[in-house]
Structure 1
Amino acid sequence: MKIRILAENLTAAVTEAARATAKRGHLPQAENVLLETVEGRLRVTGTDLETAIAVYSGAQVEEEGRALVKPGMLARMLGTFDGAAIDIEPDGKHGLALSSDGRAFKLAGMDPEDYPSVPETPDHVADIDPLGLRRALVRVLDCAATEELRPVLTTVNFAMHNGTLTLAAADGFRLGVVDTGWTVLPSFPEMNVPARTLRELLRLLPKKAKDADASDPVQLHVKRRDDGVP
């Protein structure tokens, strides 16, 4: 991989993707972020095997490639470039070399081939207004349990009723239900989505109508496991 990218843009992408990385576990690769060139852009991905965040950033791509590195170390190095354009290229077997205006760093990495696979975008079942989704999530997430004594109570139920999407959450004492009125395809299955994942989504959603991405619909996709569970 050989690219040129603004340090501030890469920092933002790495910081965002790093929120989904594993903080501890038996798979060291999941504690890293994957940098890869995709159709002339740079994609930075983080996953803890339950949640994945992929962030795209514009870049001048000279050579395609992939790298797997520690997000914290990369972010600290990027912070020394003061937002300047930096050149990134391979260093050694799996490392990266970062340089700009006479300043250079080297960062060791891991084999990107060992990174956990992140499923490609599955079946599209609905387009949702981002501000409406924010309002719905705010209303139900407070009712989801935080203690995992009963794991199902730490989720939000997504179900179709009379052709529209309904969200519900409960912690054994409180119940929150939102009939969104959003039309979804008949193929939409009932599912329980971890509240922790939805809180990350909530943080990414626009807050006001004047926000740049407030007019872009949130695309809802559903993937089934081999056993048919969504």
Structure 2
Amino acid sequence: MLVEITKDSLMNAVHHVIKAVAVNSPIPILQGINIQAGADGVSFTASNTSMTIQSMIPQDGASLTVKRTGAIVIPSRYFYDVIRKHDDELVVLEIKEQLILTIISGHSQIRLCGMDSAEFPYIDNGEGLSPSKLQMNSALFRSTVKQVAIVASTSETRPILTGVSFECHNNSLNLIATDGVRLASRTLHIEGYTNDSFNAIIPAKNLSEVSKLLSDADETTEIEVSNNRVKFMANGLKVESALIEGTFPSTKNVIPQSYLCEILVDKACLLKAVECVTVMASENIIRLVATADTLKLLSRTAEIGDIENEVPLLKMRGEEFIISLNGKFFIDILRNSDCESIRIRYAGKTSPIVVLPDDSLMSTLFLITPVRTHN
């Protein structure tokens, strides 16, 4: 292998794939980055078995020139640190001896011992299978994942809840996540989708990493689901993730179908108020008191003090109410609501609060279960 590549292109590719490196893996090869130089360009791949990320740099004669093909797996941490500390714009990667990568940049020359690329996990191209395929705008997909994945559970007690449910039917894709206390759901319309329906549960952690790699530009992300894997492809990046086996719990009976009160509040004002009162909240529990024209927010911590804040209501329909909930969970929901104002629906003391964007075109819905208090 003999490759000439600009430092910016190399750092960009390594920065993407290093997120999937299995740093503490007992399998040494998973602590490395697989570099494969071919006639069409160079791919950089890292994998932790649950997720594999590949970044492809095409040969263009400007940012990359492949003079000799080859492949090697090199230690990710040392490779990343070495490249990052070099100032020269051009980096040369060459295999002169078996399983040893020589890195030349300016007046510096480094030799890294590597491993056999043939032993590295590869991304399944799905030969012989007929995967379910769909495409969507990258920016839209990124914002949707950000909204939904935030409420997925981080506890392995119920592994199924650590994932985000993808339910595709006809031309609609519904993403759902819940940790048992909160729930987030959003439905997207898929143009030209003709495949059969499918259900898949993708680890929320992997999905969040995918969304971070995507651009906010007007690009397209391709998604393929087959067997127990899902692939995301966009702008030279390819990410493959394992799926979580099992059946996602039904959420149909969780969402209240009627409500006793609905209030409309400016999101920015409410978020600021919730952040303020949660500072003094014992175990993050805050109280919401909705009156005719204001929403009061209160919290206290014994022997420390208490705090009260008010937010004006833009609209109210129904009866006044008082309810307690986890302020930190509420903050997460508000921060990930892409709207100027939100609707909050109250369905009773023991029913979940429903939070909706005040935009009929957005199909986003959040639930948060109230907390029972003594007063």
Relative to the length of structure 1, the TM-score reads 0.88
| Structure 1 equivalent of residue 224 of structure 2 | 221
| Structure 1 equivalent of residue 150 of structure 2 | 142
* Whole-Å separation in 2 of the counterparts to 1:148 and 1:225: 19
- Structure 1 unaligned spans of 5+: 208-213
Task: Report which structure shows greater RCO (CA 8 Å, sep ≥6).
Answer: 1
| Structure 2 equivalent of residue 210 of structure 1 | none
Aligned residues: 222
| Structure 1 equivalent of residue 203 of structure 2 | 194
Residue 120 of structure 1 deviates from its aligned partner by 2.1
| Structure 1 equivalent of residue 212 of structure 2 | 203
| Structure 1 residues 84-163: aligned runs within 5 Å | 84-120=89-125, 123=131, 125-163=133-171
Please tell me whether the aligned partners of residues 29 and 116 of structure 1 are also in contact (alpha carbons under 8 angstroms).
Answer: no
| Structure 1 residues 176-195: aligned runs within 5 Å | 176-183=184-191, 184-195=193-204
- Name which of structure 1's ranges 23-32 and 217-226 shifts more when overlaid on structure 2: 217-226
Distance of aligned partners of 1:188 and 1:47 in 2 relative to their CA distance in 1, 3 Å threshold: farther
* Whole-Å separation in 1 of the counterparts to 2:117 and 2:195: 38
- Name which of structure 1's ranges 35-44 and 47-56 shifts more when overlaid on structure 2: 35-44
Residue type of the alignment partner of 2:18: A
Who wins on radius of gyration, i.e. which is larger? Answer: 2
1:149-169: CA deviations, max 9, x gaps? Answer: 100000000012443111101
1:88-119: CA deviations, max 9, x gaps? Answer: 11142201111133321111111112112221
Residue type of the alignment partner of 2:70: G
Identity over aligned pairs, percent: 22
| Structure 2 equivalent of residue 17 of structure 1 | 17
- Structure 2 unaligned spans of 5+: 59-63, 230-244, 247-375
1:43-81: CA deviations, max 9, x gaps? Answer: 100111111111122420011110100111112221343
The secondary structure found in structure 1 opposite 2:201 is: strand
Please tell me whether the aligned partners of residues 135 and 222 of structure 2 are also in contact (alpha carbons under 8 angstroms).
Answer: yes
Relative to the length of structure 2, the TM-score reads 0.56
| Structure 2 equivalent of residue 44 of structure 1 | 44
- Name which of structure 1's ranges 76-85 and 50-59 shifts more when overlaid on structure 2: 76-85
List structure 1 runs of 4+ shifted beyond 4 angstroms: none
* Whole-Å separation in 2 of the counterparts to 1:101 and 1:145: 48
RMSD value over aligned CA atoms? 2.1
Instruction: Answer yes or no: is 1:68 the counterpart of 2:73.
Output: yes
* Whole-Å separation in 1 of the counterparts to 2:106 and 2:121: 35
* Whole-Å separation in 2 of the counterparts to 1:60 and 1:35: 14
* Whole-Å separation in 1 of the counterparts to 2:15 and 2:100: 19
The secondary structure found in structure 1 opposite 2:98 is: coil
* Whole-Å separation in 2 of the counterparts to 1:203 and 1:13: 14
| Structure 1 equivalent of residue 331 of structure 2 | none
Write 1 or 2 for the structure with the bigger share of strand: 2
Distance of aligned partners of 1:110 and 1:80 in 2 relative to their CA distance in 1, 3 Å threshold: same
Residue type of the alignment partner of 2:48: D
Residue type of the alignment partner of 2:223: L
The secondary structure found in structure 2 opposite 1:8 is: helix
| Structure 2 equivalent of residue 57 of structure 1 | 57
